[in-house]
Structure 1
Amino acid sequence: MSRDAPSPSVAVIDGSTFRVGIVAACYNETLVNALLARVTERLCAAGVAEGAIHTVRVPGSHEVPWAAAELAREPGTTVVIALGVLIGGDTNHHEMVGQSVSHALQQVALAHRVPVINGVVVTDTLAQARARCTGRINRGAEFANAALTMAALKTTFKR
């Protein structure tokens, strides 16, 4: 991920009419919980009602796309945010899972015509993951901003 995030043009987006689905992995729970808190904080700051945020938990990042699809199928869902943290180890398993999840989330978005924000953080080290989830790089707010932008865009299209 680049450190050059897009300018947050979402400051003027009113999220009060949006219904947001969030699926969050339990693996690397402390880091995912931090992402979830930052996402929720930003959504609520934009006017999304707490009752309009449906959060579900799944065991790990590989299970995220299935739950994202279920949330996308719920009537009235404006956008789905998928959260997880994959950290490298002795093999490149984290990269393979990250690619698989990314492709599956894109398929969910296209199949259900609901924007899906890929908030699965893939890093080589725990320090990198901490920086993005609990530190100075606020990926949670970035994922929420992307969701707000896509939800606003979705409302401009007629079905």
Structure 2
Amino acid sequence: MSLASPTPGITDGAAFRIGIAAARFNPELVDGLLERLEASLRTARVKAGNITVVRVPGSHEVPWAAHALAAKGGFDVVIALGVLIAGDTKHHEMVGESVSHALQRVAIDTRVPMINGVIVANSLAQARARCVGKINRGAEFAAAALEMAALKRSLSR
């Protein structure tokens, strides 16, 4: 991911309903990402009752949960959260690519925007920087979600 994120376009999320599918694997990191995401949504006036969070074992299960949320209906956008860190093999890359493709398919099939907030990092230090450190990906995912929720509503009229 680039360090040059776009300027947030939407600041008032009071009318939006947001689903979040978050992995439980790498809990310190995913929970930090989720806390930052929810804090940014609250700052944008998204009501706590309009945020639904479901937890799944790992990042590979996130697309199924995201699909279940979207298929349930009533959500303006769904955000997928997880953290994949390189080990001795390329497994993290395989899962990251699979998750990314699945989330795109879910978005197209359900017509509900999906925000891919699954961090794929080469090291624990990179993951920490993005989840609980100086790079606030949670806020970036919140901003993208609000913008896509607004776009979905405007195109649905």
Residue 73 of structure 2 corresponds to 75
Q: Deviations over 1:27-56 (max 9, x none)?
A: 001100000001101111111100100000
TM-score, reference length from structure 1: 0.96
Match for residue 107 of structure 2?
A: 109
The corresponding residue for 1:84 is 82
Once superposed, what is the RMSD of the aligned Cα atoms?
A: 0.9
Q: Does 1:5 align with 2:2?
A: no
Moved segments of 4+, more than 2 Å: none
Percentage of identical aligned residues: 64
How far, CA to CA, are the matches of 1:126 and 1:158 in structure 2? Answer: 41
Matched residues, number: 157
- Rounded to whole Å, the distance in 2 between the matches of 1:158 and 1:80 is 17
2:116 maps to which residue? 118
Q: What do the CA deviations read for 1:97-156 (whole angstroms, capped 9, x no partner)? A: 000000000000000000000000000100000000000000000000000000011110
Structure 2: stretches of 5+ with no match in the other structure:
none
Q: Tell me, what secondary structure is at the counterpart of 1:106?
A: helix
Tell me the distance in 2 between the aligned counterparts of 1:131 and 1:119: 14
* TM-score of the two chains, using structure 2 as the length reference: 0.98
**Where do 5+ consecutive residues of structure 1 fail to align?**
none
Q: What is the correspondence of 1:3-42 to structure 2 with a 5 Å cutoff? A: 3-10=3-10, 13-42=11-40
